[in-house]
């Protein structure tokens, strides 16, 4: 049974960090049963082309090269991922799940068969959601999955010009093996999506339009993350791939659009989170044949019927990990986030 807060305002169906001390780097145990990120290549008589070497872009060059005011960033030393308050990392493994558009997709990714997935999920037909067009929470392997405890870095993103104290700062963990520029780009994406394209939808504060423009009734006002669409676009293209930005701005309805005189048209809404969410972990980023970096984000939840919420003092041990892919693509101006869903 899913334990979700009610959706307060339904605008669009958005796909879905904890602070930690700057500890010294410790040896990372080898995780077992790590999900496969890419399929085994098909043998070919012709050799594959050699992948171009990525020229690393420094954090300073990346931030200074943005044609907009960028947030401030601080980085901790690498450390082990720390559970949030009341949570203890499980030691006996968890159920591994995946949200898939089709059973064939899940079978291909996890190197199994559709028939096996149906056996693992006797209620597989009930797991399909027409609203989001996918199978929700498919169990993808029989054996318990051992969680990876790879080192992370805690990144604090702060935009001091933002009026709302809540929206001014985000603290999140990212894989420690990423370079500094990639860490900053990924942390920026978490920041943006948690505050304006995920848990909340649209910029605050805003001004009401004299006349609606399509779906839009508001424009971003002073104190918002950005008030000029040109600067907002520069931020997006500094953090995300061009394809990701195009997809976001072409959604129907989109959350943002360019208004008159370089203003930002915005919607306003909120969604709930999963009350059973217990934190998230990462597998190690791996270089892909196309030059991108890909890894799993493991969103941990407690799906036990014994889970009564967070009001008590008892320790919560997550029993389920739902995997989504995080992908960064290389450009001449640094890494860009091409795939990311919020873990809660």
Yes or no: say if 291 and 336 are a contact pair by the CB < 8 Å rule. Answer: no
Residue-level pLDDT at 192: 98
Q: How high is the pLDDT of residue 53? A: 60
Find the Cα–Cα–Cα–Cα dihedral 21, 22, 27, 30, rounded to 10°: 60
Task: State the pTM of this model.
Answer: 0.85
Mean pLDDT by 10 residues, the chain (344 residues): 37 37 38 42 37 79 97 98 95 96 96 97 95 94 97 98 97 98 98 93 96 96 98 98 97 94 94 90 97 97 91 92 98 97 93
User: Which residue in the block uniquely carries the two structure tokens 């920041």?
Assistant: 191
Separation in Å, CA 300 to CA 88, 93, 141, 164: 11, 11, 16, 29
Look at residues 334, 318, 337, 327 and name the one whose alpha carbon lies nearest to residue 3.
318
pLDDT of residue 216: 96
- pLDDT of the residue at 51: 44
Q: What is the 3-state secondary structure (H, E, C) of 55-99?
A: CCCCHHHHHHCCCCCCCEEEECCCECCCCCCCECCCCCCEEEEEE
The per-residue pLDDT for 271 is 79
pLDDT given for residue 9 in this prediction: 35
Question: What span, in angstroms and rounded, lies between the C-alpha atoms of 250 and 265?
Answer: 14
In the numeric block, which tokens belong to residue 58?
């420094």
Interatomic CA distance for residues 120 and 92, integer angstroms: 19
Distance in angstroms (rounded) separating the CA atoms of residues 185 and 174: 10
Q: What is the pLDDT of residue 20?
A: 36
Q: Please say whether the beta carbons of 99 and 149 come within 8 A.
A: no
The tens digit of pLDDT for each residue in 288-316 reads: 999 999 999 999 999 998 898 898 888 99
């Amino acid at each position: 049974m899913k334990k979700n807060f009610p959706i307060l305002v339904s605008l669009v169906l958005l796909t879905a960090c904890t602070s930690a001390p700057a500890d010294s780097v410790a040896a990372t145990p080898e995780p077992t049963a790590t999900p496969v990120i890419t399929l085994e290549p098909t043998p070919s008589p012709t050799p594959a082309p050699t992948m171009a070497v990525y020229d690393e872009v420094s954090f300073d060059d990346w931030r200074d090269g943005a044609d907009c005011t960028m947030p401030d960033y601080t980085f901790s030393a690498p450390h082990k991922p720390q559970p949030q308050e009341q949570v203890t990392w499980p030691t006996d493994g968890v159920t591994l799940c995946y949200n898939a558009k089709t059973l064939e997709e899940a079978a291909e990714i996890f190197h199994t068969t559709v028939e096996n997935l149906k056996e693992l999920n006797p209620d597989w037909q009930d797991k399909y959601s027409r609203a989001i067009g996918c199978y929700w929470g498919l169990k993808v392997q029989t054996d318990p999955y051992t969680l990876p405890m790879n080192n992370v870095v805690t990144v604090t993103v702060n935009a001091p010009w933002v009026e709302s104290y809540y929206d001014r700062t985000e603290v999140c963990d990212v894989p420690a093996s990423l370079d500094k520029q990639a860490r900053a780009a990924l942390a920026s994406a978490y920041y943006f999506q948690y505050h304006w394209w995920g848990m909340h939808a649209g910029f605050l504060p805003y001004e009401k339009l004299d006349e609606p423009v399509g779906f839009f009734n508001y424009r971003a006002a002073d104190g918002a993350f950005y008030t000029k669409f040109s600067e907002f676009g520069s931020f997006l293209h500094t953090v995300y791939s061009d394809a990701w930005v195009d997809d976001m701005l072409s959604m129907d309805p989109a959350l943002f659009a360019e208004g008159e005189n370089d203003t930002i048209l915005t919607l306003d809404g909120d969604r709930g989170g999963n009350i059973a969410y217990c934190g998230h972990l990462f597998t190690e980023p791996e270089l892909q044949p196309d030059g991108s970096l890909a890894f799993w984000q493991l969103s941990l939840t407690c799906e036990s019927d014994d889970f009564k919420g967070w009001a008590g003092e008892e320790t919560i041990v997550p029993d389920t990990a739902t995997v989504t892919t995080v992908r960064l693509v290389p450009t001449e101006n640094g890494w860009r986030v091409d795939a990311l869903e919020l873990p809660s």
